[in-house]
Amino acid sequence: MTPTARAARRNARRRRLRAALLVGALTLGTATVPTAAEARGTERGGDKPTIVLVHGAWADASSWSRVVRRLQSDGYPVLAPANPLRSLASDSAYLDAILETIDGPIVLVGHSYGASVITNAATGDPDVRALVFVNGSVPAEGETVAELAGPKSALSVPDPTTIFDFVPAQLPPTPESDVYLKRSTFLKSFATGLGRAKAQTLWATQRPVTLGSLNEASGTPAWDTIPSWYLIGTKDLVIPATAQHEMAVKAGSTIARFKAGHLGLISDPVAVTRVITAAVRATR
């Protein structure tokens, strides 16, 4: 779908939604119609873009909490929706549906697998001004998340059962099988840089991704037409810095680095927020 067609579809859906809400309000006798300026100011914080933060596998939206607080304190409208983690295509379609509810410019931020989701969801979207990848899996068309981590990743092992738990437990797993990180893998490789108590809690509350999601070919990448920034975690054991750098160069991203492991969005939210706001300033 072309950007023009996508914008027309989005505007039509918004008009239908607003009309339905207005009719409902009138029926209840409580309608107050804001001016266009009032609506814009309420929905997206004046002239600031809405920042949409997309989490990755084995995490949830709370992983963005410290970044959300900083962005909100700077006056940005922020959304950190739940990423379903069911398939790359359906996760991207779900995010696209969320984006269609937002008026005005958007900056999309994706961590780990979430970077693959924003790479697909933003393609052809005229409202997305910038993409920000944090320790991200950033595919070109036809590439998969599993291959992007590279052979030096702590998750690249001959026997996946040594680092993953599959649900259901029957082997071999299928594309629909849920994949959890084993406790030892989570603590030693995924949550490096965090205190042990925090890492233990995150392991216990991790959300699984399907095996198929990690091996699904990506579509046309949004970074081909939308400017991007890539924050590389130099101490990442899940997606090593060398693999991250290769993806950042491929995407033509503006590159920044921080001394963080894979969950740098939790351990160093200041650095993450700094890159997001740099992307906002550069694309106004």
**Mean pLDDT over all residues of the chain?**
89
Q: Give, in order, the Cα–Cα distances in Å from 69 to each of 66, 75, 158, 204, 273.
A: 5, 10, 41, 24, 10
Q: How far apart are CA 25 and CA 247, in angstroms?
A: 49
Q: How far apart are CA 178 and CA 128, in angstroms?
A: 31
Which residue in the block uniquely carries the two structure tokens 């969005």? 265
Contact criterion met (CB below 8 Å) for 110 and 116: yes
Which residue in the block uniquely carries the two structure tokens 């993450």? 272
Q: Is the pLDDT of residue 1 over 80?
A: no
Mean pLDDT, rounded, for 203-219:
98
Q: How far apart are CA 180 and CA 211, in angstroms?
A: 10
Mean pLDDT, rounded, for 100-110:
97
Q: How far apart are CA 284 and CA 280, in angstroms?
A: 6
Helix 65-73, helix 269-282: angle, nearest 10: 50
The CB-based long-range contact list for 101-104 (8 Å cut-off, 24+ gap) reads: 101/14, 101/17, 102/43, 102/44, 102/50, 102/52, 102/127, 103/14, 103/39, 103/40, 103/43, 103/44, 104/40, 104/43, 104/44, 104/49, 104/50
Instruction: Give the fold, CATH level 3, of 47-284.
Output: Rossmann fold (3.40.50)
Give the model's pLDDT for residue 26. Answer: 37
Give the model's pLDDT for residue 47. Answer: 85
Q: Is the pLDDT of residue 33 over 60?
A: no
The percentage of the chain sitting over the pLDDT mark of 70, rounded to a whole number, equals 84
Q: Give, in order, the Cα–Cα distances in Å from 241 to each of 119, 226, 232, 269.
A: 19, 23, 6, 18
Q: What is the pLDDT of residues 110-128, one digit of tens each?
A: 999 999 999 999 999 999 9
The three-class DSSP label of residue 64 is: helix
Q: How far apart are CA 66 and CA 196, in angstroms?
A: 18
* Cα angle 163-81-174, degrees, rounded to a multiple of 5: 35
Q: How far apart are CA 210 and CA 183, in angstroms?
A: 18
Give the model's pLDDT for residue 35. Answer: 35
Give the model's pLDDT for residue 36. Answer: 34
The three-class DSSP label of residue 131 is: strand
> Residue 130 pairs with which residues in a beta bridge?
107
pTM: 0.87
Q: Is the pLDDT of residue 18 over 80?
A: no
Spans of all domains in the chain: 1-33, 47-284
Main-chain phi, psi angles of 262, to 5 degrees: -65, -30
Nearest alpha-carbon partner for 186 in 171, 167, 165, 210: 165
Q: Is the pLDDT of residue 80 over 60?
A: yes
Q: Is the pLDDT of residue 21 over 70?
A: no
Give the model's pLDDT for residue 20. Answer: 44
Which residues, in sequence order, are CB contacts of 230 under 8 Å at separation 6+? 132, 133, 136, 138, 244, 247, 248, 251, 253, 254, 255, 256
